[in-house]
Structure 1
Amino acid sequence: MTEEPKEEDDWTAYATAGFGQTDYSLWDDVEVAETEASQEEDGFDEGDDLDDEMWEEPEQLGTHTEEVPRAPNPAGHKHMVRIGCCDTCLGRLGGKQRYDQSMVESGVEIRAAVVTRDPHLDDAEERIGLCPFCEDLFNEVDLLADLITEALDGREIGRLQVGARFPKDQMEEEDVMRKRYGAGGSDPLKSSLVKFVSDAVKARMGDVRIVSENPEVLAIIDVTTLTVDLDVRSVYLYGRYRKLERGVPQTRWPCRACKGRGCDRCEGTGLQYATSVQQLVADPLRELLGAEDDAFHGMGREDIDVRCLGRGRPFVVELKAPNRRTVDAEAAMTAINTAAAGSIEVTSLRPSSRKEVVRVKDTAAEKSYAIRFRLSPLSEKEHAKLTAPMDLTKEDVQERGGRKRRGRRKRRGDRGAPATKPLPEPEPEVPVVDEAALQAMKKAELVELAKAQDLPTSGTKSDLVDRLVNAAPAEAAPMPMAGSEEIEEVVRGLRGAMLAQRTPERVAHRRADLVRRRKVIETTEPLIETMDDGQTEVEFTLRCESGTYVKETVHGDGGRTQPSVAALIRARCDVLWLDVADIHAD
């Protein structure tokens, strides 16, 4: 008798882990317990009519398998009421606000509907004590509006913007809860609070317009400390100034000794010069507008010893944190010109903006200059220095204009152009001094001069003077100076000339050592006069590109500007004065 083959054994029958096959549910007892607890909490028994709420999803369970639905589901409203949500946040997040309803009215309506179904939630807000969404900030709207109104008292204002500063963790927590329980598209806490406060301020200050951009005053609420900070935007005024006196700088010049702190040298003012164009223009305006501070933005600047004539130099004066914003231009110009007492004259004053500050500072306007200089003999060695070759390779020369970089605003001057390699410094020359100058020096100074020239340093002062005089090289014979006709021809020849200008020695301490290219647009016929002492003086006007060093164009700056008038007429040119004749802009 053969044994029948056994069917293949099921390995799960021998498993001891309990995961093979079972009819036991791990969640049966939890579901029953939750159902019973839910019925007890809601006050229902088996005989209650549940037809009205059969479609509702159950509240969040301890197993996290089901969640509380978001508003505007009635169960979501019920959960928001139960956790202590205020009426404003109920209206903000409930998703039931009608067109003609406010947030508070919508929240009251939602709460009434929830309490009608669940009377035991009537005092939920009082029991919790703090709204989990706004932390009762909406209860402080009137306080914040009063703070803003008090801070603005006494200020002239037409456009106001309200902002708020929240702690980062509070914003993140509110954002998570709003997206978890609130209706889709609900307003964030920050924007809602700002709107409530803005409306309250508008009700208190009816003549103020609430804006979202370009405000005159920005009121920033700090919700942590319940304080308000004001950011009062500046008032900008455009105009032109004519500087009629020399020795007046354009902007305030801090004292070199105390760096603006005030000392005996500056008599406690902190200023190197007693006044400036900025002070003469801004001080009367600050008094008119009640501003705290000022800033001056000019279309370029002239040297302290240069007058600015013609139509004047365009400028924008910025008056910071003013109490008043309306300016009578005629009255303001009268106040400025009267206080200046002939030092400067302001014209064309009008309201401006921050954008115009950028335009004024970035405009590379052509300028006309009037210059007068005196001629004196020039040696061949000095002339050779004025005409010495300059390194004008492409890598070493800055040129104005050219192709703009895409995506970048062209700035005024040469900031965006490539830097240059500094030219080699000339070898120091042996000083040529006369006997009278040596006699006026102290013996210690004569000893130093003798050491510099490898001369003996022994003997008396007279011995040192004789030794230095005898060792000094003889002065070279001067070159023949150009006549009037040649001078006129040289000045006319400057029209259209491209100058190569290395940073002048007088400004090398504060500007990059670069070689710049500037063009002379046109020149006028020169006025050549022979003075009573027999010296010749020349005066002419030239129009050139912005940033041209005009004094250096005349005297050559030791060969750092080429070509120069001094090199072309073979004479030393000592500049007597320079005036800005006109600025060809606006």
Structure 2
Amino acid sequence: MEEMDSIREFLRLEVGVCAECTNRFISWKGHLGSSSSCEATEAEDPEFPLTKKIRLDTAEEEKKNASTDSALCQSCLEVFSLESAVERISCAVSESGMEIDRYQVNLSIPTLVELRQLAVASQLQQRLGCSASKETKTIPYVPSAKKLLLPLLLQRLKGIFPAAAKAVSGPEARELDSVVSINVTWDHPDDAGVCKSLQRQLVKLKQKKKLAKDSDSWWGSADKELCPDKGRNQSLALIESGQVPIQDILAWPLPKSSQAVTCRVSVKRSAVYLAGRYVKLSRQLPQTPWLVGTVRKMEDSVEELIVNPVKSSVRFDSARFSSSGREDCDVRMLGTGRPFALEIRNLRSLADVEPRRCKELERAINESGADRVQVRDLCVVSREDVNSLHKGEGRAKNYVALCRLADGHSVERESLDKICDAQNLVLQQKTPLRVLHRRTNMVRERTIYTMSPEMVADLERPNSIFTLRLRTDAGTYIKEFVHGDLGRTQPNLCSMLGVPVDIVALDCSSVEMDWPPERGPPASPHIPRPQLHPIFREPQLHPIFRDPQLHPIFRDPQLHPPSATPQLHLIFRDPQLHPIFRDPSTSTHIPRLA
């Protein structure tokens, strides 16, 4: 007991350490006691029993502690004064308007604090007359202040957050789609100078070991073993091992500091991803804002027509639009639309993207987009799903091109029929002249899987206009395939027909990608999500679904097994009555959103 009093007197009076740090160093010495706050710490992190408190039994000791607590702690520099940190966190959360559900606390402590902790431990070691042997560290190992501080701070935050809020960390946080990150950073003006001194010493040690300057793992395996904490700074382990003398970093003995650390807090939510498909009905609409320098070429874009209605009703900082490929501003995107995703940054409330709200957002976008942009299948997806969206950009796409022969030329039906035989046609496409100013000049190999031409009746110029349906690789330049781009695309339609051909209009009829992905198991084991035709996914896409009384089987499609469907209604008995049922997998029917 006398030894404990001697150690406490040395730490509190001579070094100037606060009660929290005093108890930590005494616990390191091996004299373990108990305290309510420390019991909570061990409940949070049982790996570190060193945070147990020493009970101050006498009134004289309590009075002594009270008289010295007002002084600046020379070990933690007031990092362990949690009242100010908790107050700042509460104010930051309130000002941000963030609804706390699942949260993760990230701490950043100055390197200066960790170094001063090692210096105090070294002074205490000298005070006790301990000497390091070859089997032990030159400076005794003391747990990182960050790891000791986190459970204490989490315990305090339980009192200011809603009861339903839950603290998460590590793997659990990474598995969740969205987590609120509370970033607490302590700063000190002397930290930058200490870090530079430490860096110079590490460079000298690196040169001494004759290792590459750009090596990220220049310390040896023996040095790594000296670091018990996985997340602990490797340089601190080198100081503990004596390879970098602490006297070269800090003045010795430890100088008194008159300035405490300052605390700042930021509250952010990890990105939330909205996914869907958009249909572009206008030929005067780019996918993203079109700027030439600072001059805007077109008033709106697909991105803005989707993001702006969302921004008017959902609270967030910013949104990033991405999609599976893109089309030119004069090309329509029809069929079931092009897959897209919105990365919503710092969303204030997850309730704003619940399934019911997604339907409301979908209607708001469609009303705003009118006859230019429509969206469907809006829902929340994970980051992994968005990664799969970009990986799926190599999938096939279907196009419909309206082609016109040059004046004075015509083509016979037999010549067009020969195009149909050119399956899996491999193209060598140089970067088109129209985009050469912003893209690398290179040769791209693309494949046209199938082509199907169809002559269009024209009384003034017979046999000069035709439509061409193509199924191609994503990234194929269809316009350049038609007119040849002055020979930069080989082969091309002009060389195949032997006459000059130009393109009048182009539509992308479908993108072969199942997106957004299915979240969870299907509602019925009898009817998987891919059904007869995409129009079944949204009842508003076709008139026969608008009045459920017309076709009772559509009141709840999930309740009717496929085997019974063809027997219930005459429209299925004769496929010719309804062209959309002739070949549901390749139907060219273009639904319009209601």
TM-score relative to the length of structure 1:
0.62
Amino acid at match of 1:354: R
SS of match in other structure, 1:226? strand
Q: Indicate if the aligned counterparts of 2:32 and 2:52 stay in contact, CA closer than 8 A.
A: no
Aligned to 2:366: 337
Larger Rg, first or second structure (1 or 2): 1
Q: What per-residue deviation string (whole Å, max 9, x for no partner) do you get for residues 95-153 of structure 1?
A: 3667984328998962626x79xx789626734823232223322x2222222222222
Q: Give the corresponding residue for 2:441.
A: 513
The answer for the alignment partner of 1:156 in structure 2 is 99
1:240·1:312 contact (CA, 8 Å) conserved in 2?
yes
Q: Secondary structure at the match of 1:112?
A: coil
Pick closer, same or farther for the CA change 1:107–1:245 going to 2, 3 Å: closer
Give the whole-Å Cα distance in 2 for the aligned partners of 1:486 and 1:109: 92
Check 1:308–1:99 CA distance in 2 against 1; reply closer, same or farther (3 A cut).
farther
Give the alignment of 1:432-471 within 5 angstroms. Answer: none
Q: Secondary structure at the match of 2:371?
A: coil
Q: Is the 8 A contact 1:158 1:208 kept in 2?
A: yes
Q: Does 1:165 align with 2:108?
A: yes
Indicate yes or no: 2:45 matched with 1:88: no
The within-5 A match list for 1:176-187 is: 176-178=119-121, 181=124, 186-187=142-143
Q: Distance in 1 between matches of 2:62 and 2:266?
A: 40
Residues 203 and 77 (structure 1 numbering): CA distance in 2 closer, same or farther, change over 3 Å? same
Q: Output the CA distance in 2 between the equivalents of 1:127 and 1:76.
A: 15
CA 1:164–1:485 in structure 2 vs 1: closer, same or farther (change >3 Å)?
same
Between the aligned partners of 1:163 and 1:246, the Cα distance in structure 2 is 49
- What are the equivalent positions in structure 2 for 1:524-535 lying under 5 Å apart? 524=452, 526-535=453-462
- CA distance in 2 between partners of 1:88 and 1:187 (Å): 13
2:107 aligned partner, one-letter code: A
Which consecutive unaligned segments of at least 5 residues does structure 2 have? 41-49, 126-138, 188-261, 515-594
Indicate which of 124, 135, 146 corresponds to 2:87.
Answer: 146
CA distance in 2, matches of 1:529, 1:188: 77
CA–CA separation in structure 2 for the residues paired with 1:584 and 1:99: 65
- CA deviations 1:467-498 (Å, max 9, x no partner) are xxxxxxxxxxx8x7542111221x21331111
- Give the AA of the match of 2:85: L
Change (3 A) 1:332 1:247: same
Q: How does 1:372-451 map to 2 (within 5 A)?
A: 372-376=402-406
**Match status 1:193 vs 2:149:** yes
Decide whether aligned partners of structure 1 residues 109 and 176 sit closer, same or farther in structure 2, where only a CA change above 3 A counts: closer
CA distance in 1, matches of 2:428, 2:509: 23
Aligned to 1:282: 307
Distance 1:553 1:120 in 2: 89
Q: Any idea what the Cα deviations from partners look like across 1:430-482, whole Å, max 9, x if unmatched?
A: xxxxxxxxxxxxxxxxxxxxxxxxxxxxxxxxxxxxxxxxxxxxxxxx8x754
- Are residues 1:492 and 2:420 paired? yes
1:132 corresponding residue in structure 2: 74
- Structure 1 counterpart of 2:391, from 362, 366, 370: 362
DSSP-derived class of the 2:510 partner = strand
Aligned residue number for residue 242 of structure 2: none
Q: CA deviation at 1:505?
A: 0.5
Q: Provide the residue aligned with 2:344 in structure 1.
A: 319
The CA deviation string for residues 537-584 of structure 1, in whole angstroms up to 9 with x for no partner, is 110211111111111111111111111111111121121111111111
The structure 1 residue matched to 2:181, chosen from 196, 218, 229, is: 218
Distance 2:149 2:53 in 1: 20
- SS at 1:319's partner residue? strand
SS at match of 2:434: helix
Percent identity of paired positions between Structure 1 and Structure 2? 28
Contact 1:145/1:200 (8 A) holds in 2: yes
Structure 1 residues not aligned, in runs of 5+: 1-51, 57-72, 260-270, 378-477
1:103 paired residue number: 38
Shift of the 179–341 alpha-carbon distance from structure 1 to 2, 3 Å rule, reads farther
C-alpha contact 2:33 2:53 (8 A) present in aligned 1: no
CA contact (8 A) 2:12 2:68 kept: no
- Residue 229 of structure 1 pairs with residue 229 of structure 2: no
Q: Secondary structure at the match of 1:238?
A: strand
SS at match of 1:138: coil
Which deviations, in whole Å up to 9, do the C-alpha atoms of 1:163-198 show, x marking residues without a partner? 233333233222443577599775421233333333
Structure 2 partner of 1:421: none
Letter in 2 for 1:574: D
User: What is the letter of the counterpart of residue 521 of structure 1?
Assistant: Y
TM-score (norm 2): 0.61
One-letter amino acid of the structure 1 residue matched with residue 400 of structure 2: A
Instruction: Describe the superposition over 1:273-316 as per-residue Cα deviations: whole angstroms up to 9, x where unpaired.
Output: 21111111111112222122211011110111111112211111
Q: Of 266, 276, 290, which residue of structure 2 is paired with 1:239?
A: 276
State how far apart, in whole Å, the 1-side matches of 2:491 and 2:53 are. 87
Name the amino acid aligned to 2:19: D
Q: Which of 512, 516, 530 is residue 584 of structure 1 equivalent to?
A: 512
2:323 alignment counterpart: 298
Contact 1:369/1:542 (8 A) holds in 2: yes
Task: State how far apart, in whole Å, the 1-side matches of 2:403 and 2:298 are.
Answer: 26
Mark the CA change 1:497 to 1:181 in structure 2 (over 3 Å): closer, same or farther. farther
CA shift at 1:257, angstroms? 5.2
User: Are 1:249 and 2:249 an aligned pair?
Assistant: no
Displacement of 1:250: 0.9
Distance 1:148 1:569, change over 3 A: same
Kindly provide the CA deviation profile for residues 409-441 of structure 1, in whole angstroms up to 9, marking residues without a partner as x.
Answer: xxxxxxxxxxxxxxxxxxxxxxxxxxxxxxxxx
CA–CA distance in 1 between the matches of 2:363 and 2:400?
29
* Greater mean deviation of Cα atoms: 349-358 or 562-571: 349-358
Cα distance in structure 1, aligned partners of 2:268 and 2:338: 31
Query: Does the CA contact (< 8 Å) of 2:107 and 2:146 recur in 1?
Result: yes
Give the Cα separation in 1 of the matches to 2:36 and 2:141. 17
Contact 2:32 2:53 in 1 (8 A): no
Q: CA RMSD in A?
A: 3.1
Counterpart residue type for residue 88 of structure 2? L
Counterpart code for 1:80: L
Partner of residue 401 from structure 2, selected from 351, 354, 371: 371
Query: Which secondary structure state, in structure 2, belongs to the residue aligned with residue 331 of structure 1?
Result: helix
Alignment correspondent of 2:382: 353
